[in-house]
Structure 1
Amino acid sequence: MSNSTTFKALVVREVSDGEFNKSIQTRNLSDLPENDLLIEVHYSSLNYKDAMSAAGNKMITKNYPHTPGIDAAGIVISDKSGTFTAGQEVLVFGYDLGMDTPGGLGQMISIPADWALPCPSSLTLKEAMCYGTGGLTAALCIQKLEKIGAKPSDGSVAVTGATGGVGSISIAILKQLGYDVIAFSGKTEQSAHLKNLGASEVRHRDTINEVGSRPVGRELWANAIDTLGGDYLANLLKQTKSGGAVSACGLASSTELDMTVLPFIIRGISLLGIDSVTIPLPEKQEIWARVATDMKLPDIEQYCEEITLEQTPEYLERFIANKVVGRYVVNVRG
């Protein structure tokens, strides 16, 4: 553990109205907010929300300069609350981390103790960040489908945004649990990659919208996980089999939902909302227990690209340019 009072962090600054720049800077511990739990961050990961914060989206981050990073895995330096002991490995996902509280793209963070949970003994800090919020969200989507009765024998599960962080981990976990997966992506050149993850079939995402303005379409999949929103979500719902469900966790395409109630009342399907940010800590601990056991991918690191803190400005731009493939884990001290 470091005894230094300085550390490196990605800092986003507003240089003019609507203009932001990103750079790696040296920060002082005194720059961090006063909270009970001080953590030396070893790994973080990149998420779409980090890219929006780094681009100056004030719906995500109101005050700049700011350090993004909604994920962090590291070692406890001190805890005034007495919840954790020095040297203990911990994980942090969501809440206000990386939004208006300096986040995991810095080598030190100071947070309330009830934002953190112990790292499961079967996961290394790096493995936990290979999942990150994207993997946590994927696991929550699958678990919610299962809680209303979804099982592999029902039929295929459709996954949109398949090359993204949530989509790619969803495919791999679903395959491990025995489900057949249809992957939808705008990057059909990544078909071999998606089939390697576990998809039995890859389709262009726009084929979902071929149902057009019809209130319902043919029943094509038993259940689905949607990361896009908008017409993709509406048309997934229109083509879900009777009694099936769609877990909705993203808005990469749109926040709007334009459809009739007919799929709900003539097919009895369910729309399941997924919140991975503010769910109570016990629920996060529950899902992480599954990520560390039956949902644990034995080769999780193959689904991630490891980068350094210095590379994060470049890689965050990939999210804005829609060039993301898989998960990016950040070796904050590498």
Structure 2
Amino acid sequence: MSDKQTFRALVVEEHDDGSFSKHIRERNLSDLPDNDLLIEVHYSSLNYKDAMSAAGNKSISKHYPHTPGIDAAGVVVSDRSGTFQKGQEVVVFGYDLGMDTAGGLGQMIAIPADWALPCPESLTLKEAMIYGTGGITAALSVQKLEKAGATPADGAVAVTGATGGVGSISIAILAQLGYEVIAFSGKSEQTEYLKSLGATEVRHRDSVNEVGKRPVGRPLWANAIDTVGGDYLANLLKQTKPGGAVTTCGLAASPEFSMTVLPFIMRGVSLLGIDSVCIPLEEKRDIWQRVATDMKLPNLDNYAEEITLEQTPEYLERFIDGQAVGRYVVNVKG
């Protein structure tokens, strides 16, 4: 652990003309908020919300200059609350981290102690960030389908936004648990990649919308995980088999969707919301234990590309341009 008073961080700055820029800057510990738990960050990861924060989206981060990063895994430097020991490995995701509290794309963070959890013993800090918010959201989505009664015997699970962080890990977890998976993606060149994750079948994302304005379509899948929102979510619901469920966790296509109530009252389809940000700490602890045990994927390095802190400005642009594929884990300390 470092005793230095300065550290490197991605800093997003707002300019007088309303534009935003992002650069790696030297920061001081005094720039951090006065919270109990000080952590030296070793790894973080990139998520769509980080990209929006880095682009100056005021619905995500209101105050600039700002360091994004809604995920962090590192080592405790000090804890005034007495919750953690110096040198203990911890993970943080959700709450206000990386939104208006300086986030994991900096080498140091200062947070309330009740935002952090011990890193599961069966996961390294890097492996924890290969999951990160995207992977935990995927795990929560699968778990919520299970709680709604989903089993592999019911039939295929459809996954939209399949090449994204949540979609890709959802496919891998579902496949590991024995489900057939229909992956929907606009990136036809990634078909073999999606099949390598465990997708049984890969279809173009727009085929979801072929049902058009019809209130219901032919039932094509037992359950679904939607990561993009908009018409994709509406049309997944229209084509879900009776008694099935669809989880929703994203809005890259749109935060709005329009449809009738017919899938709900004619087929008993359920719409299940996924929140990975503000769920109780015990629920976060429980899902971490699952990703460290029955949901732990073999050869985790295969599910993410490791990048440096210096590369984060470039890679964040991939999310905005719709070019992100899989998970990106950031070696913050290195």
Secondary structure of the residue that 2:241 maps to in structure 1?
strand
User: How far apart in 2 are the matches of 1:266 and 1:22?
Assistant: 50
What is the CA–CA distance in structure 1 between the aligned matches of 2:322 and 2:170, rounded to whole Å? 19
* Partner Cα separation in structure 1 for residue 19 and residue 94 of structure 2: 26
Aligned to 1:259: 259
1:94-113 C-alpha deviation (Å, 9 max, x unpaired): 10000000000000000000
Residue 244 (structure 1) aligns with: 244
Counterpart of 1:20 in structure 2: which amino acid? F
Identity percentage of aligned residues: 79
SS at match of 2:15: strand
Q: TM-score if structure 2 supplies the norm length?
A: 0.99
Residue 174 of structure 1 aligns with an amino acid whose one-letter code is L
Letter in 1 for 2:102: P
CA shift digits 1:181-207 (9 cap, x unpaired): 000001011000000000010000000
Cα distance in 1 for partners of 2:15, 2:108 equals 24
Alpha-carbon offset, residue 298 of structure 1: 1.3
Which residue number corresponds to residue 6 of structure 1?
6
Question: Could you tell me how far 1:119 is from its partner in structure 2?
Answer: 0.2
Question: Structure 1 CA distance, aligned partners of 2:64 and 2:332?
Answer: 21
Give the partner amino acid of 1:208. Answer: V
Match of 2:140 in 1: 140
Q: CA deviation at 1:257?
A: 1.6
Q: Show the counterpart of 2:177.
A: 177
Write out per-residue CA displacement over residues 209-245 of structure 1, whole angstroms, 9 at most, x where no aligned residue: 0001100000000000001111100000000000000
Q: What is the rounded CA distance, in whole Å, between the counterparts of 2:272 and 2:46 in structure 1?
A: 25
CA distance in 2, matches of 1:185, 1:298: 24
Deviation string 1:145-171 (CA, Å, 9 cap, x unpaired) is 000110000000000000000000000
Structure 1 distance, partners of 2:20, 2:83, is 38
Partner-residue secondary structure (3-state), 1:129: helix
The letter of the residue matching 2:164 is G
Deviations 1:245-292 (A, max 9, x none): 001010110111200000000100100000000001000000001000
Name the residue aligned to 2:330.
Answer: 330
Secondary structure of the 1:242 match is: coil
Amino acid corresponding to residue 120 of structure 1 in structure 2:
P
Q: Any gaps of 5 or more consecutive residues in structure 1?
A: none
Which amino acid letter does the alignment assign opposite residue 75 of structure 2?
A: I
Deviation of residue 331 (structure 1)?
0.1
Aligned partner letter, 1:229: G
Q: 1: distance between equivalents of 2:182 and 2:324?
A: 19
Query: Pairwise CA RMSD of aligned residues?
Result: 0.5
Instruction: Quote the Cα distance in structure 1 between the aligned partners of 2:228 and 2:289.
Output: 27
Distance 1:192 1:298 in 2: 19
Q: CA separation in 1, counterparts of 2:206 and 2:18?
A: 33
Rounded Cα–Cα distance in structure 2 between residues aligned with 1:330 and 1:305: 8
Q: CA deviation at 1:299?
A: 1.1
Q: Distance in 2 between matches of 1:118 and 1:104?
A: 16
Q: Which amino acid aligns with 1:303?
A: Y
Would you identify which runs of 4 or more consecutive aligned residues in structure 1 move more than 6 Å? none
* 1:292 aligned residue: 292
TM-superposed deviation, 1:53:
0.3
The 2-side partners of 1:299 and 1:310 are apart by 26
SS in 2 for 1:122: coil
Aligned to 2:196: 196
Residues 1:107 and 2:107 are matched in the alignment? yes
Q: Is the 8 A contact 1:18 1:56 kept in 2?
A: no
1:78 equivalent to 2:78? Answer yes
Distance 1:190 1:302 in 2: 15
Measured in 2, the distance between the counterparts of 1:316 and 1:160 equals 21
Alignment of 1:1-334 (within 5 A): 1-334=1-334
Q: Which runs of 5+ in 2 are unaligned?
A: none
Alpha-carbon distance in 2 for matches of 1:120, 1:228: 30
- Post-superposition shift, 1:126? 0.1
Look up the equivalent residue of 1:263 and give its one-letter code.
P
Counterpart residue type for residue 116 of structure 2:
A
SS in 2 for 1:66: coil
Separation (CA, whole Å) in 1 of partners of 2:218 and 2:283: 36
Following the alignment from structure 2 to structure 1, what is the Cα–Cα distance between the partners of residues 59 and 307? 27
Amino acid across the alignment from 1:316: L
State the shift of 1:17 in Å: 3.2
